[in-house]
Amino acid sequence: MAPIVNLIFGRAPEGAEEAFARVSEYLLEQWQNPSDILSVLMLLGPDIVQRSVAQLAGRVVTPCAFSFGWVAYSASALVSSFGDGRLMPDADIDETLVIGAKSGHCRSTKSWILGRLLRDFNDAVDQEMSKEVAHVPPQSSDAISTTGKGSPAQESPTIPARSAEHRPWEALRVTVFEFDDSSAIPGHGTPTLDWVWLLGPVTILIQIGIALIPFILHDCWDILLISVAGNFLAVLSGSLPQWSKEKWACPKNGGSTVTITQGNGSRTAMVIVGKKGVGPDLEVLARGTRTHAASRLTRVATCTLALLWVLLLVTVAGMKRNSWYLMGVGIIGSAHNIIAAGAKRSPAALGLHLKQLGEPISDSSVAAVLKKVEEQYEFVGSSLLDVFYPGGFRVKNDAEIEFWEEAIQKRKRPNEYGILINLG
C-alpha cells in the first residue's frame, strides 16, 4: 500500500524517477528510430501484394512498388509454385456466372479477370441506378389485368411517375458488347496503360527520392540500397511470365457469345457477342481448365526470389539509424499496392478490348428484358431463363407463351453442337 499512498500524496517512491527516465528514454529512442518494427511490418499484408500484382500483370514489366508484405508473399508464392502451381488469386466477387448463349451451359467462374470485369461494370451501373425512382413491388390488383379474351395478362410492376431528377426503375439492365478488332488496340490479353499502371513507376520514383534524402544529408546509403533492391525484386517478382499465362489461360482466336452476370437477384448482365478469330474464348477462361502449371523457370525464380527477400529482411532488421525514411518508403509502397489492388479499371485496362453495341436493354420487369434480348440476339434471352428464374418461368399472356415456346423450340433444334438429347 505504501507506493500507492505515496503516489496519492505526491511523494514518488524511491527509484521511481529513475524508472520513469528509463522508460522515457526507451520510448524516445524507439520513436526516433523504429528499426525493430520495420522487420515485423515487412511480413504484413501478403494478400494485398498478390492482388496488386494480379491487377497490374499482363505486360512485359509489372510496375508493382516495394512495400510491406513482400517477404511474406514471396514465401506463399514459393509454396504455391510447388503446390497447385498458381500465382493468380481467385475472383473477389461471389457467384460470377458465365452462360453460353447457344450451349446454355452455365459456369461459375473464379477467373480474376472476369470477376473484376463484372465488379467494375456493376459499380458503374449501380451509380447510374442510384438516381432512379423507388421500386414498387408488383401487386396482384395492379400487375395483373384481363385481356380481351378473358385471360389474365402479365404486366410490368406499377412504378411512380418519372420526374426530371430520377430515371425509371430498372429490374434488369443488359448491356451488349463485342470484341474490338481494330488495329489501334494492343492485342487481346494485353492491357492498355491507365492511371493505375502508370502510378507504379511514379511511386517507385518517389520512393527512390525519399531514400536519397539520408544519403545526401547524412551519407547514409543503406536505405537507398534497400529501396532500390526492394523495388527491383518487386518488379521482378511481378513480371514472371507465369502471371500472364494464368491470367489469360484460354485461346485468343475467338469464342461463342456469352453472358456474364451474378444471376437471380442481380440487376446487371453483360453480353459479349462472339466473333470468329477475335478475342479470348471466355467460356474456357471461365473454367480455368487451361491454367498453366508452374514451369521449371517459375519454380527456380520463386525459390531465388524468396531467398533474396529473406536476405533483404535480415538487412532491414540490422538497421540502427534513420529508420523513418525506410518507414516512409514502405508506407508509400503499401498505399500504392492498396490502391492498385482495389481500383476500378476499364475493360481495356484489364486486357478485354470491348465496344458497346447499341443502347443497354432494360425494363421494369426481368421477363420483359429477357424478351427484348431474345428478339435482338437469338438464344441469349432464352439461355438466361433458368438463371434468372431458377424456380421456373411462368407467363400469363397467350402471346408471351407463344413467343417463349417458339424460342425454346429453336434451342432444341440441331446446331453446330449437334442434336439435343433430353436426359431428364
Amino acid letter, residue 61: V
pTM: 0.82
Are 115 and 109 contacting, i.e. CB atoms less than 8 angstroms apart? yes
For 113-124, the pLDDT digits (tens) are 999 999 999 999
Q: How far is CA 215 from CA 3, 66, 212, 225, in A?
A: 49, 19, 5, 10
The per-residue pLDDT for 64 is: 94
The residues spanned by each domain of the chain are 35-123+181-355
| Mean pLDDT computed over 62-71 | 92
Looking at the predicted structure, is the pLDDT value of residue 140 above 50?
no
Give residue for cell 522508460. 23
Q: Which helix (H) or strand (E) holds 181?
A: none
Looking at the predicted structure, is the pLDDT value of residue 292 above 90?
no
Strands (E), 140-220: 144-146, 152-154, 172-179
The per-residue pLDDT for 19 is: 67
Looking at the predicted structure, is the pLDDT value of residue 154 above 50?
no
The per-residue pLDDT for 293 is: 73
Cα separation, 341 vs 346, in Å, equals: 14
104-114 as b/e: b if 16+ CB within 10 A? bbbbebbbbbb
**pLDDT over 70 percentage in the chain:** 81
The per-residue pLDDT for 145 is: 40
Nine-digit cell string for 102: 447457344
Are 366 and 261 contacting, i.e. CB atoms less than 8 angstroms apart? no
pLDDT band at 341 (very low <50, low <70, confident <90, very high): very high
Cα separation, 386 vs 404, in Å, equals: 13
Cα separation, 66 vs 13, in Å, equals: 49
The per-residue pLDDT for 150 is: 40
**pLDDT over 90 percentage in the chain:** 45
Helix residue ranges per DSSP H, 147-261: 195-218, 222-238, 241-247
Cα separation, 87 vs 203, in Å, equals: 24
Cα separation, 118 vs 85, in Å, equals: 26
The per-residue pLDDT for 301 is: 93
Q: How far is CA 53 from CA 26, 46, 49, 239, 329, in A?
A: 39, 11, 6, 9, 18
The per-residue pLDDT for 80 is: 86
Looking at the predicted structure, is the pLDDT value of residue 42 above 80?
no
Cα separation, 135 vs 367, in Å, equals: 16
The per-residue pLDDT for 391 is: 87
On average, the pLDDT of the chain sits at 83
Cα separation, 101 vs 377, in Å, equals: 9
Cα 76 to its chain centre, rounded Å, is: 20
Looking at residue 260, what DSSP letter applies?
Answer: E
pLDDT band at 135 (very low <50, low <70, confident <90, very high): low
Question: For the chain, what's the residue count?
Answer: 424
Q: Which helix (H) or strand (E) holds 258?
A: strand 258-261
Q: Which helix (H) or strand (E) holds 320?
A: none
Q: Which own/partner pairs from 28-37 qualify as long-range (CB within 8 Å, at least 24 positions apart)? A: 33/320, 33/321, 33/322, 33/323, 33/324, 34/323, 34/324, 34/327, 35/316, 35/317, 35/319, 35/320, 35/321, 35/323, 36/317
The per-residue pLDDT for 121 is: 94
Are 119 and 93 contacting, i.e. CB atoms less than 8 angstroms apart? yes
For 226-273, the pLDDT digits (tens) are 999 999 999 999 999 999 988 888 888 888 999 999 999 899 999 999
The per-residue pLDDT for 141 is: 43
The per-residue pLDDT for 175 is: 96
